[in-house]
Structure 1
């Protein structure tokens, strides 16, 4: 073996050692990554809407008959509905906007007879004949359609009417857990204004703060009829207005300030599905959107490297898309290394204790792209669930959560209340 060969062999251990050091250096290299969380919900302003009709054929509600339907509602939300005064040209029954109050100021549900909320309205699209079975439909169209106007005893053509509450009895019962049942009774029989009621529509608006998102979903007094109300008022056809309401009914929720944790370990530091809340602050996040308690606790945990609470600059919370405007978004640049993981959590704002979070052992901190498929919706198990966005005990709807103690579980979709669309997007770049 010549001297050159000895020199080459002597260099091999050093080369291998350098290669090993280079591999270790790669694993210890700090990388910059930006996490972005967005509320991508294409929100709707109505919590619920629906239709009602008589049980026979035709499906009208005759004198002496009644119809009932159920719905969920939170404090300050209102019930509204519309049904045709059948033996008229274009009159309809409906509450005055924004609808019927469902709770007292102290949160006690309103129950019993609420008939004094009912009004009789002129749709303004047909010339009014004397009301009764002899009315010809559709009748004569107004030369110029008039604005919707309440009928108080006498219409613009000299026809007389009893108060709406003398023709329709409206009753509310409370079924518990924010659920109501309303019964519409036709008690016009034997009066001077005997009439059937047509199939109708009903709606409940979301409320944000003290404001209903859609306070006048069926009509606006003093303005022309729109969106299919004329079809009800003239012909008792609720199809068009029902379709309009359906398009405006769905999910609305903000997301709370987002907790982001960079850690190095085998276990998600926030929670484990199937275990009860650890009492470390996740309950405060899931029930009230307060991430600060959990953030402070996480900073004391072994393996946790960085903890952030990301707040949207203008509104703090991440609002959904509203009328086509982009939803809220937060971002944060992170310094990560190979082996690091990322966990996030944010409250489904209009719930009792639901939260979005990374499933399993979080995200690979060095991954790139859209990682939304790794985010799940979980029930913290510390508060009794109610219809999302319509619960009397939901904290963000001025309620006080009803406490329970169950393991953290994934929220199924569809769930017992509704079906949820895409709400949250999480990406790493």
Structure 2
């Protein structure tokens, strides 16, 4: 009996051991991987720029004539421009830096006459003759380097000038949805300072953290002229300055904290094009860059194994490349099983409700490499679109989104406002 008991125990132990081995064999092996998301956008500081000119030949703006142009702007953004005082050696009109105020303190748009923000400036490159039609161009060069200086009633050579607001009328019209129309009227006719205005340039700077990225894009008072402004001030030629401003104009956007989802299944667990937002938190990511609500919801979904919200250590958001410096980057080590797929999403920060997300079947967790080509840019359909980076209702520009209800769709490129770089030149996603 004793031998039989011990024998039975031995058999039972062997059975438990074998069962344990079979259970472990059934568990899929895990492998480690590291996912990295980077903002690789080579950003520009100006969101918009352009030119204006008269309708005649040459295309100057004569006394009694007007010229208009339109642009988009958000709170804290300013409009600046420059045009030559035509019957001078090197004088130009421009607003006081950083430019014309476009919104009141209560957030309402500024409309009507804004002429009091315009000044007359001396470029400092030519000796001033008495202003008028007899001025010889280009005239005598200044001895040595002089800085740009406001002409406040009288220049350095004793010539008198009326205030700029007596010669130029500047007015703003608000067209809705962050769009303004700006009109310059030449009212110098019959004054002691009658003059044509030359063709001109204008621009709007991006704002980040409440600050202009390029607050003095055309001139700096008390500093030497630069970037082609001399050609405007002396000859009314906008070619060089327009080229410079065009090079500084383009795309700037941060990427919000990044949502990373590991799941098993045939479909992305939080969005599908052609469907409306599901009310699970994607709206908060797309409009405000807040991925936490969607992350919390996804943790309760069947098939979702892990959810991460990756925040850049220094700034929380992933800033683009600025002045050659690298953009923001986040990484996360992952434990992956066979069949795992990885979905990624982040907000196009300077939009109303655009978001980047992996497409198709998302990222195969068993593969390694650069998966940036799988990323698409989508309109969440929950907020009215405005000019990216110049929309008064964009949450990241101190606005409140205007709600709408449309299906999620890819953002066309070019879109109705601008042309974006290739997505792979904005966001990079790698799995190693």
TM class, shorter-length: over 0.9
Deviation for aligned residue 1:235: 0.5
Q: If the length of structure 1 is used for normalisation, what is the TM-score?
A: 0.93
> Is residue 142 from structure 1 mapped to residue 145 from structure 2 by the alignment?
no
Structure-2 change in CA distance of 1:428 and 1:89 (3 Å): same
CA deviations on 1:321-369 (whole Å, 9 max, x unpaired) are: 0000000000111111221111011001111000000112311111211
SS of equivalent to 1:241: helix
Deviation for aligned residue 1:80: 0.2
Contact kept? 1:27, 1:337, Cα under 8 Å: no
Counterpart of 1:158 in structure 2 is 158
SS of equivalent to 1:198: strand
After TM superposition, the structure 1 = structure 2 runs for residues 339-354 of structure 1, keeping only pairs within 5 Å, are: 339-354=339-354
Structure-2 change in CA distance of 1:60 and 1:25 (3 Å): farther
After TM superposition, the structure 1 = structure 2 runs for residues 66-85 of structure 1, keeping only pairs within 5 Å, are: 66-85=66-85
Deviation for aligned residue 1:231: 0.5
Counterpart of 1:428 in structure 2 is 431
Counterpart of 2:60 in structure 1 is 60
SS of equivalent to 1:265: coil
Structure 1: 5+ residue stretches without partners: 1-20
Counterpart of 2:308 in structure 1 is 308
Aligned length: 408
Counterpart of 2:11 in structure 1 is none
Structure 2: 5+ residue stretches without partners: 1-20
| Partner Cα separation in structure 2 for residue 106 and residue 296 of structure 1 | 36
Counterpart of 1:365 in structure 2 is 365
| Partner Cα separation in structure 2 for residue 385 and residue 410 of structure 1 | 13
> Is residue 189 from structure 1 mapped to residue 192 from structure 2 by the alignment?
no
Deviation for aligned residue 1:209: 1.5
> Is residue 96 from structure 1 mapped to residue 96 from structure 2 by the alignment?
yes
SS of equivalent to 2:326: coil
Deviation for aligned residue 1:105: 1.0
RMSD: 1.4
SS of equivalent to 1:427: strand
Structure-2 change in CA distance of 1:194 and 1:374 (3 Å): same
Deviation for aligned residue 1:26: 10
| Partner Cα separation in structure 1 for residue 111 and residue 156 of structure 2 | 35
> Is residue 290 from structure 1 mapped to residue 293 from structure 2 by the alignment?
no
| Partner Cα separation in structure 2 for residue 388 and residue 256 of structure 1 | 15
Counterpart of 1:419 in structure 2 is 419
Contact kept? 1:33, 1:366, Cα under 8 Å: no
Deviation for aligned residue 1:409: 0.6
| Partner Cα separation in structure 1 for residue 143 and residue 203 of structure 2 | 32
Contact kept? 1:113, 1:170, Cα under 8 Å: yes
| Partner Cα separation in structure 1 for residue 252 and residue 102 of structure 2 | 20
Deviation for aligned residue 1:27: 9.2
Contact kept? 1:346, 1:356, Cα under 8 Å: yes
Deviation for aligned residue 1:31: 1.3
Deviation for aligned residue 1:247: 0.7
Contact kept? 1:372, 1:427, Cα under 8 Å: yes
Counterpart of 2:398 in structure 1 is 398
